[in-house]
Chain A
Amino acid sequence: MEWMDKSRIRNFCIIAHIDHGKSTLADRLMQFTGAVEDRDLTEQHLDTMELERERGITIKAQAVRLSYTARDGRGYELNLIDTPGHVDFTYEVSRSLAACEGALLLIDATQGIQAQTMANIYLAMEHDLSIIPVINKIDLPGAEPERVAGEIEQSFGFAPQDIQYISAKTGKGVLDLLETVVELVEPPRGDPSAPLRALIFDSRYDPYKGVVAYLRVVDGEMKGTERAMLMSAGVTADVLEAGFFSPAPEKSAGLATGQVGYLATGLKNVRDCRVGDTLTSSRLPATAPLAGYRPLKPMVFSGLYPADGKAYPELRDALDKLQLNDPALVFEPESSTALGFGFRCGFLGLLHMDIVQERLEREYDLSLIATAPGVNYRVTLTDQSVVEVDNPSRMPPAQTIAEVREPWVELSIIAPSRFIGPVMDLVTGRRGEYRKMEYLPTRSSMSAGANGPADAPANDARVHLEYLAPLSEILVDFHDQLKARTQGYASMDYSLVDDRPADLVKLEVLVNQEPVDALSIITHRGDAQSQGRKLARKLRELIPRQMFEVPIQAAIGNKVIARETVRALRKNVLAKCYGGDVTRKRKLLEQQAEGKKRLKKIGRVDVPQEAFLAVLKIDRE
């Protein structure tokens, strides 16, 4: 086997906030290294999912091998590992970073540092990567490369000459950037003679080749003929094919120390080949796996029901198929008296939840009703046993509970300083605790003030705010509120820190005396009263008048805390129906009957689907 000298290998990734141009830069790098012909260059080559392209985000990581002849005349093998940019996929990002020695920190010259940039760069620093700061979009009219450079220098301590200026769109500066990668990113370390250890940083299911693992060989070498073993899963697998992407898949005899590529395993379940696991040879296994593996744990839960109850089998099949490529998605059947049969689904975060819902609707043509998202509560009962509750309807009776703990997150927000007030109000209104605030320095404040950060900041100065907050409080309508209150300027990020005891109550909703499981929520005792009132009021608006009066009640335990009434419908009749109208009027009546069939039944009450979204629609503030 002919291996590339590992001193000529550079493994790197691009970390960036959404829309800062990561995919465009990846395209340009491929083009400049000849990986793709100019004419084959579709927009954003790496984002293969329709949804990724539309949302401008990367959901799944990929890796591309680029051959680059540097100015020193030598050929190099550059492996570009694409990372999912979003906070929900932090763990996957961290595995991608672990497969690299360097990272391009890509920042939009018109926008500057965003909350996600912060999160990702700290992650990159933790992994000891060589970080190359790159300011992108310098060709745009609104670009302020100077200001952004100032932010980068001050926030992360880079020297001015470290910063690269490019336009991924026009290609300006990209060749220099490739040189810098060769110069600054370290070649892979690792012991070629040690037993094989390869880090899996992504995997996906292919109907012909089984589970395909994306991996980085850390120690030893991987031969395309040897049986492999997944150390954490304890599973062995045939190796059907090894290779790399350039960007089309190319078979190879194997992968050497430091190389990045793929392995088709023939495994049927991505769960056996999880991101973060270590792949070794089953003939000569390594003694210890690589550090850092942890199973993914869902943080956000929601009930998904088919709008048409008959579509339950389709929903189950669709979830099964999605799960093949998304081991982070968990689900189990649940049923609701109002919504029928559905699934309790667990997601990594809000974006993950959105993506799954959207893919189910788009790719599987399902119409869904999603119940309000919630978190996982750790409930200690009076007999000291502990249960995990991710569904409000499963919350044990109040008198049996000794303590409830809820997950808290560290919340990081970057916004122009003029919005500090509104952001503060929003976060503290959600039980957030203020941690710290830092101005992101600008060049002007640097030159003007040696007096420290307390200097009066310029009007357009931006601040980085940090809070601790209960995860449950930022699930619903938080991001939208943040955007609304900052005219769209704020960016946010969060990460789980711990769980804390919480004074929570289960707020139940009764429609016409019937408790509606799909509408019950767990909420902080202090908010329960007002939440209950708003929820009842919203439901009164959303539930159409019936032929009888319908009371709507919000209750905690046996105590009703709010009541609204949907008055009985008194008049619904066609005034005129003569010879000229018969067919048209009959069709109108057929439509009325058809419309009624689409309603869900709570006891005798016909309720439109939107009513189940009432929790999402109440105005918290």
Chain B
Amino acid sequence: MPCRLPNAASGIGLYLHVPFCLSKCPYCDFNTYEGLTPLIPAYMAALEREIRLWAELLHGPPVSSIYYGGGTPSYVPPHSIASSLQTVTNLFEVSRDAELTLEANPGDVAPEQIDSWMKAGINRLSIGVQSFDDALLKTLGRRHTSQEAARAALCAASRGLENLSLDLMFGLPLQTLGQWQNSLNTAIDLEPQHLSIYGLQLEPGTPMEADVRLGRTPDVDNDLAADMYTLAEDTLGQAGFEHYEISNWARRGKESQHNLAYWTLQPYLGVGSGAHSFLHGRRFANVKSPRAYARCLESDAAIHNNRAHPVDAMRALGTVGEAETMDRQTAIAETMMMGMRLSRGVSNADFNHRFGVDMSDVFYEELRDLSDAGLIIHDHAGARLTPRGRLLGNEVFARLVEASSKAAQFRPGQAA
């Protein structure tokens, strides 16, 4: 049965980007920097100013989830997290049961820190464990040990945190199936409510990608990575976790509300350098450089809210770069590529409700072929990936995204 969503329309998701790290990991291609520590106070101040400006522009709408991501949000002083969160709750209508997540490195998770974060309102921690094997942690350039990671997880629970997520990675150079099983078991023993399991993706421009390309680090066998993924599915399934998205598992009711909003194309606002937003049918992103971002938001920054779209006011300020309006074809493509990531898939009813046409009309041929190939199940309820389809998701997404160009032929109220 497809799990039921919270009424996401009741509010927007709010993402706050913290682009600082003590050291940048060799596989990471995110907008994050080491050695920018002196900029933290000015940056966090700018972040708060951006929150205020948006609150003014949007008239303090309801917020259903808040997410501090990075970078390493646990790397900045807890009081600046508390201060920015206070600004949000003062100016936005944050629902009582809202999920407030903070990403943390195991090394930063100590009792005092947890207490301050929780006191500020954080009710969910996502800890970047990545592996419980010390040798692999070293390959990944992580500064913590497996023991520290375990200690961090236990510590969070002991301070009363009831929603803990651990990140693990598989398909790492030199990683064995045995090591992977061991990491999974250790993670389960720590009793998190949520697990994000990511296959390593070698991104161009990262040191690790270069190492593999130049043969300095062994490449990862694609078949072994597939075996690891299947092993995770089996192990976590037996441990009672629900596999609700390609890379995410949770205890029932502990699915990440913030991320679900992304996958169902709900509106969200991102603040901070390089943060992306999807508001009022437009996608836009802030400038990437933390320095440039902070400069745009010097203390006297003011806006003139006399423009057609609030984004334009921020563009005038310089924090927002390009903005694009999402057309119907793109909306359909993204609904499919994001929605199909979820185990419940895309429902016929939701699709029809949103676009006024039937998914099975627009994607008749694709859904048939993908079913025949054993990658999806398509029935009266909707379309969703099979276990095989989860491993070959791109084959499904690419086909559906490409076919979305046909969407123009299917208009509400018209016979196909």
Contacts and interface: CB of A to CB of B under 8 A. Distances in A.
A575 B13 CA distance: 22
B200, B391, B395: most-surrounded residue (chain A CB, <10 A)? B395
Give the interface residue-count category, chain A: 20 to 34
A310 B340 CA distance: 34
B222 A570 contact: yes
A474 to B, nearest CB: 36
B222 A586 contact: no
Contact of B262 (A575, A578, A592): A578
Interface string A578-621: 11101101100110111010000000000000000000000000
Contact of B229 (A571, A580, A596): A571
Contacts of B392: 547, 569-573
Given A573-B393, A582-B276, A589 B337 contact: yes
Contacts of B402: 589-590, 593-594
Nearest to B389: A573
Contacts of B337: 577, 585-586, 589
A571 B401 contact: no
Nearest to B170: A575
A580 B70 CA distance: 11
Interface string B300-340: 00000000000000000000000010000010011001100
A547 B395 contact: yes
B246 A575 contact: yes
A547 B198 CA distance: 22
A585 B338 CA distance: 10
Nearest to B284: A583
B169 to A, nearest CB: 9
B334 A572 contact: no
B199 A575 contact: yes
A576 B391 contact: no
A448 interface: no
B66 interface: no
A438 B392 CA distance: 64
A574 interface: yes
A573 B13 contact: no
A576 B261 CA distance: 15
A567 interface: yes
Interface residues of B, number: 45
Given A570-B226, A571-B229, A579 B270 contact: yes
B398 A573 contact: no
B401 A589 contact: yes
Interface in B18-57: none
Given A571-B226, A572-B392, A573-B390, A579 B13 contact: yes
A582 B13 CA distance: 15
Contacts of B362: none
A572 B276 contact: no
Interface centre among A571, A578, A580 (most CB of B within 10 A): A571
Contact of B401 (A547, A572, A579, A586): A586
B151 interface: no
Nearest to B222: A571
B394 interface: yes
Nearest to A545: B222
B266 to A, nearest CB: 10
Given A547-B373, A579-B15, A586-B337, A572 B394 contact: yes
B401 A583 contact: no
B394 A586 contact: no
A567 B223 contact: yes
B338 A573 contact: no
A571 B232 CA distance: 14
B278 interface: yes
B235 to A, nearest CB: 17
A574 B201 contact: yes
Given A575-B198, A586-B334, A590-B398, 14 more contacts: A569-B392, A570-B222, A571-B222, A578-B262, A579-B268, A579-B278, A580-B274, A582-B276, A582-B278, A582-B338, A590-B401, A592-B394, A592-B398, A593-B402
Interface of A: 547, 567, 569-580, 582-583, 585-586, 589-590, 592-594, 596
13 contacts: A571-B222, A571-B229, A572-B392, A572-B394, A575-B200, A577-B263, A582-B276, A582-B283, A585-B337, A586-B401, A589-B402, A590-B401, A592-B394
Interface of B: 13, 15, 198-201, 222-223, 225-226, 229, 246-247, 259, 261-263, 268, 270, 274-276, 278, 283, 285, 324, 330, 333-334, 337-338, 341, 373, 375, 390-395, 397-399, 401-402
